[in-house]
Amino acid sequence: MLVALQPGHIGARDLSASALVLARSGAPRRRVVRGMLLVLVQAALLAGAAGGGYALASGWTPLRAAPVVVLAPPAAPKAEPWRAELEQSRLALRMAEARGQELERQIDALNQRLRESNEQLAFLRTARDGRRNTGER
């Protein structure tokens, strides 16, 4: 339940005069853990630097990069017949694709003519049925 206190009330003066400190428990423990981790990281870096200095002083040299080797494709003296066959196959493929496109175009034209013929047939049938219903010949 909330109660508003008047400005001159004793409880209001007590609340405004007291200092409230909010702190999480365990904060000092975290500082100690962070400090220890920092010391361990610095010790590892120092040990690595010392080991590297000792290795260089004792004559150790870093590995040299391997020379870049470019592998050339092997010479194929018998490639000419294969190239000619490849070109013939490509030409045959292009011809087959062109034939397929032409056949699709012809099928589309035939389908259009079939639709038109069906429409004409439907029109003639409705006209014939209309004559029968009216008695005309």
Structure tokens at 34: 């962070």
Check pLDDT > 60 for residue 5.
Answer: no
128 CA to centre of own chain: 64
Q: Residue 6's pLDDT is what?
A: 60
Percentage of the chain beyond pLDDT 70 is: 75
What is the spatial distance between Cα 32 and Cα 14, in angstroms, rounded to a whole number?
36
Q: Residue 129's pLDDT is what?
A: 84
Q: Answer for the pair 97, 105: CB distance below 8 angstroms, yes or no.
A: no
Check pLDDT > 70 for residue 135.
Answer: no
pTM (predicted TM-score) = 0.37
How many other β-carbons are positioned within 10 Å of the β-carbon of residue 5? 13
Q: Residue 88's pLDDT is what?
A: 93
